[in-house]
Amino acid sequence: MANNLIAIEPKSFTSYEEAVVSGGGKVAPLSKEVKALIWTDYAAPELLSETLSENPQIEWVQLPFAGVDAFAQILTAPVRFTSAKGSYKEPVAEHALALALALGRKLPVRIKATSWGKREAFSFYDANVLLIGAGGITQELIGMLKPFRAKISVCRNQAEVQVPGVNEVFGLGSLSQKISEADLVVVACALTNNTRGLFNLELFSKMKSTAFMVNVSRGPIVNTADLLLALDKGLLAGAAVDVTDPEPLPDGHPMFGRDDLIVTPHTADTKEIVERHFAIRVQHNVKAFLGQGPWIGQVDPERGY
């Protein structure tokens, strides 16, 4: 059996320790004998880089979230990296759908209304839905949207790889042409050099004026200033974001308080949700490290996810 000593850094949690043990490993302080590392702090890439430099014996690192953009400079290390991609797909897809329905039913307006107001709403039954990215969130949303008879398109890096349950798959190069057909656009892709700032004023100008956009991925994929300008110009009917740039938004930021924009404070997956689902990923990949199953969520350094 492979060395089963596994360190959890920089902060350990009981649920993760239990997951290591249930996967066949033994939780141990980081030392020269430890070759596997569960990394629990997304906000500390520099510390992880230092840790790997000081511990060249490390063979595998489990990263805490689906997105690994914060660790982009580290992924070139001769180490197997796995992420949590797919782990939080259910709660994040649930949140994306809730945001879309809230936009369609004008809830930002109605929640704070003090008069009867206009009778207006948008139904997503038989609507054209465009999902950006083809990972776990998209796969979960495809199932959630099935009762709506939605016509689903997916924009992904690997346009040649089909996605079950959708009407069309195309690459990023076709997005500016295809986005004009969508009633709802959900951003659920990784943050990479190709997607940073992808949603700018030029792309928003291609959307239907009646369309909605939801971002549950990473804030920098959407240009904040351009989104606000697009809403002001009526280039789209509304937007909802669970992630922002900057994040967190400072008090009084112009994204707050609008009738056409919902901002949730990165709550698609809360601390409690993350701990529960990440523990499951840890257990799976501890088994893989010990040669008792396949790896899940292995990171491709060239693609950045």
Write out the DSSP string of 79-121.
SEEE--TTTTHHHHHHHHHHHHHHHHTTHHHHHT-SS------
Q: Give CA–CA dist 180/214, Å, rounded.
A: 15
Average pLDDT score over residue span 188-205: 97
Tally the residues of the chain.
Answer: 305
Q: For residue 131, what is the enclosing H or E element? A: strand 128-132
Structure tokens at 149: 């008879």
Q: Give catalytic status of residue 218 as yes or no.
A: yes
Average pLDDT score over residue span 181-185: 98
Average pLDDT score over residue span 42-48: 95
Q: Kindly report the average pLDDT of the chain as a whole number.
A: 96
Asked whether residue 2 carries a pLDDT value surpassing 80, the answer given is: no
- Rg over CA atoms, the chain: 21
- For 252-284, how does the pLDDT look when each residue is reduced to its tens digit (9 = 90+)? 999 999 999 999 999 999 989 999 999 999 999
**Options 46, 50, 247, 303, the catalytic residue:** 247
Confidence of residue 77 (pLDDT cuts 50, 70, 90): confident
Asked whether residue 304 carries a pLDDT value surpassing 90, the answer given is: no
Q: Give catalytic status of residue 303 as yes or no.
A: no
The fourth-level CATH superfamily of domain 5-87+270-289 is: NAD(P)-binding Rossmann-like Domain (3.40.50.720)
Confidence of residue 1 (pLDDT cuts 50, 70, 90): very low
Can 5-87+270-289 and 89-263 be said to share one CATH topology? yes
Q: Give catalytic status of residue 50 as yes or no.
A: no
> Per-domain residue ranges for the chain?
5-87+270-289, 89-263
**Options 17, 95, 156, 218, the catalytic residue:** 218
Average pLDDT score over residue span 30-58: 96
Give the dihedral of Cα atoms 162, 164, 169, 172; nearest 10 deg.
-80
Structure tokens at 24: 């066949």
User: Which range is most confident: 67-71, 72-76, 129-133?
Assistant: 129-133
**Options 105, 253, 258, 266, the catalytic residue:** 266
Looking at the chain, the whole-number percentage of residues with pLDDT higher than 70 is: 99
Q: Which CATH architecture has domain 89-263?
A: 3-Layer(aba) Sandwich (3.40)
Q: What is the DSSP string of the chain?
A: ----EEEEESS--HHHHHHHHHTT-EE--S-TT--EEEE--TT-HHHHHHHHHH-TT--EEE-SSS--GGGTTTTTSSSEEE--TTTTHHHHHHHHHHHHHHHHTTHHHHHT-SS---------TT-EEEEE--SHHHHHHHHHHGGGT-EEEEE-S-TTS--TT-SEEE-GGGHHHHGGG-SEEEE-----TTTTT-B-HHHHTTS-TT-EEEE-S-GGGB-HHHHHHHHHHTSSSEEEESS-SSSSPPTT-TTTT-TTEEE--S-SS-HHHHHHHHHHHHHHHHHHHTTSS--SSB--TTTT-
Confidence of residue 94 (pLDDT cuts 50, 70, 90): very high
